Amino acid sequence: MFSRLLHRFIVGLLAFFAVEVALFSAQTPTNTFVPIISYLLDSESNQSAKSTHWVTGYYVAYQRDLLPPEEIDWNGLTHIIMSRVTANPDGTLNTNFDWDNTNGPALARDIATRAHAHGKKAILMLGGDDNGAAIHDAVANHRATFIVNLVAAMNTLGYDGIDLDWENDIDWDLFPTFAAELRQAAPRAILTMPGGPLNINYDTVDPRLVALITHLDQFNMMSYYPTTQWVGSGWYSWYNSPLSGVKPSTPVSIEESFNRYVVAGVPKSKLGMGIGFYVTCYTGGITGPNQSTESGVAIVGGDNEYPLSEIYGTNGAYRESMRYWDAVAKQPYLSLAQPERHGCRYVSIEDEESLIAKGNFTRTNGYGGTILWTMNQGRVRSHSQPDFLFEALRKGFIEPNLVRTVGISVMQGDLWLEYNATVSLSALVTGTTDKRVSWSITTPDCGNISAEGVYNAPSAERNCTILATSLADANKSATAQITITNAEWSPQFSLSRKGTHWLEVTAMDEDVESTSVALSDGTSLALTLQYRLYGTNYPLFVTNYGFPEGGGDYTFHAQSANNRKTSAVLHVPLCNKDANGYCQ
């Protein structure tokens, strides 16, 4: 403590002299004293920054529509990492940021500028899991050139540091040398690195990694799927990013991995955990954690395919009544009565309680912070407080005394219902532990709604408004507009048979959200949304089901995001075989 106070006193004294020197240097051609003062002041600033528990979000250009730069909640972050520059084997760099060579760098500069305007640090990501071989060649054969190019890119794009995301083809003898030389070339840069958590069944800490971390400011564990969950022999269903609860059948947790890194010599203050802002779930009848995955079970969802913003957004699978809490792993999960769109009943999620718990654990135990992959997937636009997940991170890691803001939304959004139809509505309440709401109807002659949110539509055409009000904060409410009509919805469809087991159905209506086909055995087959057509946004659905070679007429059902439903009989064409016996 005394040495730190002394350091502050000296820095303050030197800062005073710096003002005098600056005045003098205005009339003097050279001045070497001011850079020294600048370095000392920057050193003090860096020490202060390192004592802060960090929340570092990875921002990726290919998800920019999920989170445009102007919508970023900077209050929930301390650092942002822009993904990504990649290495070429000759030591040069690609700076298209998974977009293109014009828009990618422009977006990167914009992110850095915004970060600095909000007092946050901006870091440039190098690499990724598909760039390891090129990084290896650049480090092994062109290291000096490679380092010059990295530092130049960092400075040109306006960044404060580099994230060394060398994940594959790693040379563990060269990596510490590379980091040491990069540190020498950019002594004030923030250097970070993501790495893996440890499986208690077979992983150990490589001493060369410990040596490498001495040159870094942060080492962040990618403690999220796919490093935490498996299926098959010996594995049980588990969580995307569990804090505790490790055992041989669920062999990864943040706490246990942290403990082993510390024993190996990694300072606690440099260790960060990883939080996935996406959802994973188990098929095959799994209903919760710690269940056998031996037969017919798959893990689906994951990064980019199932963002948290979807499960908490309009028509998302989240239901407060089906949410459970694991007090050991400090993780929430859904155990659904009916499978969601992937065929899952057990769904692993992050929510406010788990994010705050992870922050409390970090602060209580002296660890460094967390990374988010990816921050783009955490903004829930349909909610009245779209950044409630970032606010929970802020409370957990940065400002424990923060009073959170209550937010509310109706999960089903606006709906279309037929006369006398019944629907069960649910609300998402955030920013409070009291999740209860009161339901009411604000338009006359619009049916009735129960205290549990079960709405019964009237027997005539109406436009009705349903109101959900938070019991925690009566000033916070959300509405759903219900259109009551028996008017027919008749979108057009086109169908093409692309192969023996491949069928494509295009809906000429962008509101179509899902389709299924009634099969001859009485079952229903859901089609998969493949993509939306450029320009029209029409959805194209596919299935690899083997229809009879002779084709035939089948009933296809479709539903919109706002609950409109329709059916159409479509003709599956005859299989015209080529010389190899495949349909054309």
Q: Is the dihedral of CA 490, 496, 502, 507 positive or negative?
A: negative
CB of 430 within 8 A of CB of 383?
yes
Same domain, 412 and 381: no
The DSSP line for 469-520 is EESS-TT-EEEEEEEE--------EEEEEEETTEEEEEES-TTEEEEEEE-T
139 occurs within a structural domain: yes
Q: What is the DSSP string of 176-196?
A: HHHHHHHHHHSTTSEEEEEE-
Residue 330 maps to a domain:
no
Does residue 498 sit in the same domain as residue 480? Answer: no
Same domain flag for 203 and 64: yes
Domain around 552: 493-572
The label of the residue with tokens 């594995």 reads: 235
E strand or H helix at 21, and its extent? helix 2-25
Length, in residues, of the chain: 584
Closest CA to 239 of 274, 205, 284, 202: 274
Q: Is there a single domain that holds both residue 112 and residue 150?
A: yes
| CA gap 225, 240 in Å, rounded | 5
H/E element, 477: strand 477-484
Closest Cα to residue 80, out of 197, 159, 188?
159
- Which of 442, 465, 484 is at the close of a domain? 484
How far from 581 is each of 446, 496, 551, 552, CA to CA, in Å?
Answer: 59, 18, 16, 19
Where residue 193 sits, what CATH number does that domain have?
3.20.20.80
CA 400 to CA 354: how far, in whole Å? Answer: 14
> Under DSSP, is residue 118 helix (H, G, I), strand (E, B) or coil?
coil
Asked if residue 292 belongs to a domain, the reply is no
- Give φ, ψ of 494 to 5 degrees: -125, 145
Q: Taking a C-beta distance cutoff of 8 angstroms, is the pair 342, 316 a contact?
A: no
Q: 């998800």: which residue's tokens? A: 63
* Distance of alpha carbon 371 from the chain centroid: 10
272 in the same domain as 153: yes
Strand partners, 517: 525, 556
Task: Choose among 150, 131, 147: nearest CA to 88.
Answer: 131
CB atoms within 10 A of CB 548: 10
- DSSP structure string for 65-93: TTS-GGG--GGG-SEEEEEEEEE-TTS-E
Examine the fold and report which residue of 338, 369, 398 is the final residue of a domain before the chain moves on.
Answer: 398
**Residue in 223, 228, 147 with CA at minimum distance from that of residue 187:** 147
DSSP-assigned beta bridge partners for residue 505: 495, 541
In a domain, 64, yes or no: yes
The enclosing domain of 443 has a CATH number of 2.60.40.1080
Same domain, yes or no: 527 and 470: no
Q: Are 336 and 283 in contact (CB under 8 A)?
A: no
What is the phi/psi pair of residue 393, to 5°?
A: -60, -40
C-alpha triplet 38, 44, 47: angle, nearest 5°: 140
436 contacts: CB under 8 Å, gap ≥ 6: 429, 470, 471, 472
Q: Are residues 19 and 108 in the same domain?
A: no
Q: Is residue 289 part of a domain?
A: no
- The span from the CA of 191 to the CA of 152, in Å, is 15
* Terminal alpha carbon distance of the chain: 77
* 238 belongs to a structural domain: yes
**Is the distance from CB of 460 to CB of 484 less than 8 angstroms?**
yes
Assess if residue 240 is contained within a domain. yes
Three-state SS for 149?
helix
Eight-class DSSP state of 44? H
Residues 358 and 375 in one domain: yes
CB-CB contact of 173 with 139 (8 Å) = no
Q: Please check whether residues 31 and 77 belong to one and the same domain.
A: no
CATH number, position 552 = 2.60.40.10
Residues 536, 387, single domain; the answer is: no
Coil, helix or strand at residue 148: helix
Whether 315 contacts 287, CB under 8 Å: no
Confidence (pLDDT) at 550: 87
Distance of CA 513 to the CA centre of its chain: 23
Domain boundary among 437, 463, 484: 484
Phi-psi region at 5: left, alpha or beta (left = phi > 0; alpha = psi -120 to 50): alpha
Q: Which residues of 420-441 are buried (b: 16+ CB within 10 A; e: fewer)?
A: ebebebbbbbbbbeebebebeb
- H runs (alpha helix) in 496-553: none
| Domains of the chain: total | 4
**CA dist 93 to 66, 138, 151, 154, 424, Å?**
27, 10, 11, 11, 54
105 contacts 152 by C-beta, under 8 angstroms: no
Same domain flag for 474 and 563: no
CB 391 within 8 A of CB 431: yes
Token digits of residue 223: 């403690």
Does residue 505 sit in the same domain as residue 418? no
In 3D space, the residue among 89, 51, 58 whose CA is nearest the CA of residue 72 turns out to be: 58
What is the predicted pLDDT for the residue at 27? 34
CB-facing half-sphere around the CA of 489: CA atoms within 13 A? 23
On whether residue 271 sits in a domain, the answer given is yes
**CB neighbours (10 Å) of residue 16?**
11
Tokens representing 283 are: 């098929």
Give the whole-angstrom CA distance, residue 93 versus residue 442. Answer: 59
CB 82 within 8 A of CB 76: no
Neighbours of 262 (CB within 10 A): 16
Q: Rg of the chain's alpha carbons, rounded to an integer?
A: 28
Local mean pLDDT, 10-residue blocks, the chain (584 residues):
40 38 33 34 37 89 96 98 98 98 98 98 97 98 98 98 97 97 98 98 97 98 97 95 97 98 98 98 97 94 95 96 98 96 94 98 98 98 98 97 98 96 97 98 97 98 98 98 94 87 92 91 87 92 89 93 90 81 67
